[in-house]
Structure 1
Amino acid sequence: MSPLSFASARRYTQTAYNPIKDDDGNEMKLEITPRAAKRLSDIMKKDNNPYLALRIQVESGGCHGFQYLISVVTLPPTLPAKPAAGADAAEQPSEGDESGEIREDDTIFTYTKEEEGGDATQDAAADMEVDLTAPKIILDQPSLELLKGSKIDYTMELIGSQFKIVDNPAATSNCGCGSSFDIKF
């Protein structure tokens, strides 16, 4: 009798545009949870717009010093050319707009399904074709620096449903509603 095996495609977050490394040389990443990816996919289908993305920004404010700003934007159907190597994206800060414009300091992450027999190593992920119709998030470099290692989740509570940043390793405290946080310096 052979053991039962249920093979399903593995899903993971992939950097689709402009990977940025921290001071230690590690790629800064944000994880999209399956629940957030499903909700974003549902919004994309309902609006009949496969290029919708969540733009996540951090700015000063809120009751704990910094606040998350999450908005839905439409990205262009093709990615711009990669920023030039050595170009300092920090010299061109992002303005807090609602457009889907991809700026020089933006990084895009997609929630990707690994094909059967595929290998989800970083090298394999770098060689994969980017699916711009997959659920995606876009962040500017200053926001990514404050959120690296965090997860974007979709929560459903009695007071309402929302996309939320969870497990932020840089946060020392969060407000009760989850939209504001304090960081370690």
Structure 2
Amino acid sequence: MPAAAVPFTLPEGAPLLKVSDAVVSKVSGMLAEEGDPNLKLRIFVTGGGCSGFQYGFAYDEETKADDTTIEAGTLKVVVDNSSLQYMLGAEIDYEESLEGSRFVIRNPNAASTCGCGSSFSV
């Protein structure tokens, strides 16, 4: 009989999400181009993708009642609590390479991920 999956728990004092300096730099520059100082980066999880769940990114002016706000340098990142449960302890990074540029999420809650890294299962 397979062992039951053990839910990920954060070590005492660990951040809810880690946002890299590369994300702060890239997104802060993109938000500055928008000219709206109230914009924040929203990260969310939805059903779909080839592994069951997929990550999404959007700009948002609103902070809703069930949102958690993470401040990383000058950047404010908002995540709704439903999504946060699947991303707790994840590291959000931004990479540029010869293949292109993309956001990368290293998620300790993901049991598996797809080849492109944009969807996962728990």
Tell me the CA shift for residue 27 of structure 1. 7.5
- Name the CA shift for 1:157/1:25 in 2 (closer, same or farther; >3 Å): closer
Q: TM-score, normalised by structure 2?
A: 0.80
Corresponding position of 1:41: 28
- Name the CA shift for 1:164/1:38 in 2 (closer, same or farther; >3 Å): same
Where do 5+ consecutive residues of structure 1 fail to align? 1-21, 74-99, 113-133
- Secondary structure (helix, strand or coil) at the match of 2:44 reads strand
Tell me, yes or no, if structure 1 residue 173 matches structure 2 residue 107: no
Instruction: Considering fraction of residues, name the structure with more strand.
Output: 2
CA distance in 1, matches of 2:72, 2:14: 17
Tell me how many residue pairs correspond in the alignment: 113
Aligned residues: CA RMSD: 2.2
- With 42-51 and 135-144 compared, the bigger mean Cα shift is at 42-51
Runs of 4+ in 1 over 6 A off after TM superposition: 24-28
Structure 1 counterpart of 2:37, from 47, 50, 63:
50
Where do 5+ consecutive residues of structure 2 fail to align? 1-8
Q: Which amino acid aligns with 2:100?
A: G
- Secondary structure (helix, strand or coil) at the match of 1:68 reads strand
CA distance in 2, matches of 1:169, 1:61: 19
Tell me, yes or no, if structure 1 residue 109 matches structure 2 residue 48: no
- Secondary structure (helix, strand or coil) at the match of 2:111 reads strand
5 Å-filtered alignment, 1:76-115, equals 100-112=61-73
- Name the CA shift for 1:46/1:104 in 2 (closer, same or farther; >3 Å): same
Corresponding position of 2:5: none
Q: TM-score, normalised by structure 1?
A: 0.55
Q: Which amino acid aligns with 2:67?
A: D
CA distance in 1, matches of 2:32, 2:72: 15
CA distance in 1, matches of 2:21, 2:51: 28
Q: Which amino acid aligns with 1:35?
A: A
5 Å-filtered alignment, 1:1-185, equals 29-73=16-60, 100-112=61-73, 134-166=74-106, 168-183=107-122
- What is the percentage of aligned positions where both structures have the same residue? 38
Residues 53-109 of structure 1 show CA distances to partners (whole Å, capped at 9, x for unaligned) of: 211111111100111111122xxxxxxxxxxxxxxxxxxxxxxxxxx3221110111
Which has the higher Rg, Structure 1 or Structure 2?
Answer: 1
CA contact (8 A) 1:54 1:71 kept: yes
CA contact (8 A) 2:14 2:89 kept: no
CA distance in 1, matches of 2:69, 2:78: 4
- Secondary structure (helix, strand or coil) at the match of 1:36 reads helix
